[in-house]
Chain A
Amino acid sequence: MTSSVIVARVKQRQIAQLVSSGKRLDGRGLTDYREVQLEVGPIEHAEGSSRVRLGKTEVMVGIKIEVGEPFPDVPNEGVLTVNAELVPLASPTFEPGPPDENSIELARIVDRGIRESKAIALEKLCIEPGKKVFIIFVDVYVLNHDGNLIDASAIASLAALLNTKMFNYEVKEGEVKIKPGYTPLPIRNYPIAITFAKINDKLIADPWLEEEQVMDARLTITFERDGKICAVQKGGYGYFTRQQILEAAKIAREKAEELRKLVVKD
């Protein structure tokens, strides 16, 4: 990776050795998550927003809704667009400029979880089939990078979508006119991403930045509300064995249940 934070060799060894004996430098167990703090609706100008802190990692998500054209192959459905910005103020390794492969990958993993779990009822966002639909922009804004941006971004995106209010509208002479009042965005599923790092052949959940520098590889598994897997992504230069993948899936399912309770309040 071109943009990596340098961790001293001594510390790298220490992290790896601790993991071998089932411990972590910040005192967590191997599959423990950092504390999640969630704030919803901090941005008044956005139709929906959230700010998530996962340990020291901090991510803000804003949802904007516009009227636009549907994709030709699904003329009756609204459009979901996820974009991620690794904002330069979040880390000395983030640089201004067009999105690099890391931010594209981040956005596409978050997108896959929302899309494949059919979290947004896109068919309800059609105004005029083939011509006008609502476009939901999910903009992930990383404010502080301390590892595991994927899970933090996925949680923040879900929280922001649940917080999103759509303006009421009517169609007059082909024009969309805004009416007073709001309705919530139709959300019917709650995807939660769980990421593992592999260090010294052991799986650890929710790696923080320095663990990410030491890890061989990364595996993200996204679960939807009924405990089905809706997205998977392996990253990093190492590998996983079949056994490790299946083990990760089982742990992730439980973790996803726990985290979902923090985000989705009945």
Chain B
Amino acid sequence: MLQKMPKKLIDENGIRVDGRRLDELRPVKIEVGVLENADGSAYIEQGKGKILAAVYGPKEVHPKHLALPDRALLRCRYHMAPFSVEQRKSPAPSRREMELSKVVREALEPSIFVEYYPRTSIDLFIEVLQADGGTRCAGIIVASLALADAGIPMRDLVTACAAGKVEGRLVLDLTDIEDKGGEADVPLALLPNLNAVTLLQMDGMLTIDEFEHVVNLAFDGCKRLYQLQKEALKAKYVVAKEVVEE
């Protein structure tokens, strides 16, 4: 299952390895309410990426001493399945997963009215079943939908998208090989209605001007994904409404 690094990631017509233009998103399929046991859940397929998220809560906090007197405790686990990448990944949480769990939690918490549920916990689980670049962003998208599906009051849905630089060109929504072979990757999470950036990371090298362009590109990607997120959320309730009416 080894992917080979192609000689060129972008051809002379500005078309990428997977046939996309520079500012084109990967095909996305989102489904809300996919797990029976969870209070809320969602699933995304983004290119080859497949990511599942579930929410349990608000519920009693265990262990109890972690409970916060004035708000809910949001806990988040970003985790990759051992078979999600080419070389088997140990199921024990890696340093990367620990960091991502933290930044994903910080990306989502500003969207939730945590003050409505003091002394409770909201537990969020993101499982990457197959990774193909941009998994933290896809994880945020489904996690936010799972929170909405669980009926937790929110200021806005959180959406996320990466942009970066590959072979000297600024591109949207990098795949794994574009990330590895490229010069920079900037994941960004956004609450679109508040113009609030809640996750921003970068590795690679960019001038300040390039950085500004890449941030703008990621904003555009976020806004398009936001529409798809809203449609997916509505789709679940349209189906529910039809069932009720029958």
Contact = CB atoms under 8 A, between A and B. Distances in A.
Interface of A: 2, 99, 101-102, 104-105, 107-108, 112, 115-117, 217, 219, 224, 227-242, 245-246, 249-250, 253
B227 to A, nearest CB: 19
Nearest to A112: B203
Given A237-B109, A241-B195, A232 B201 contact: yes
A250 B208 contact: yes
Contact of A246 (B194, B199, B206, B215): B215
A231 B203 CA distance: 5
Candidate in A101, A232, A241 with the most chain B CB atoms within 10 angstroms: A232
B197 A240 contact: yes
A237 B198 CA distance: 8
A257 to B, nearest CB: 13
6 contacts: A104-B99, A108-B99, A233-B103, A234-B200, A238-B110, A249-B208
A2 B196 contact: no
A101 B215 contact: no
A105 B99 contact: yes
A48 B205 CA distance: 27
Contacts of A239: 110, 191, 194, 196-198
B219 interface: yes
B211 interface: yes
A249 B215 CA distance: 12
B201 A116 contact: no
Candidate in A227, A228, A238 with the most chain B CB atoms within 10 angstroms: A228
Contacts of A117: 205
B200 to A, nearest CB: 4
B205 A234 contact: no
B103 A229 contact: no
Candidate in B109, B197, B199, B200 with the most chain A CB atoms within 10 angstroms: B200
B37 interface: no
A213 B52 CA distance: 34
Interface in B42-73: 66
B198 A116 contact: no
B95 interface: yes
A101 B78 CA distance: 13
Contacts of B208: 227-229, 249-250, 253
B234 to A, nearest CB: 25
Candidate in A116, A229, A240 with the most chain B CB atoms within 10 angstroms: A229
A246 B219 CA distance: 13
A228 B186 CA distance: 14
Nearest to A73: B180
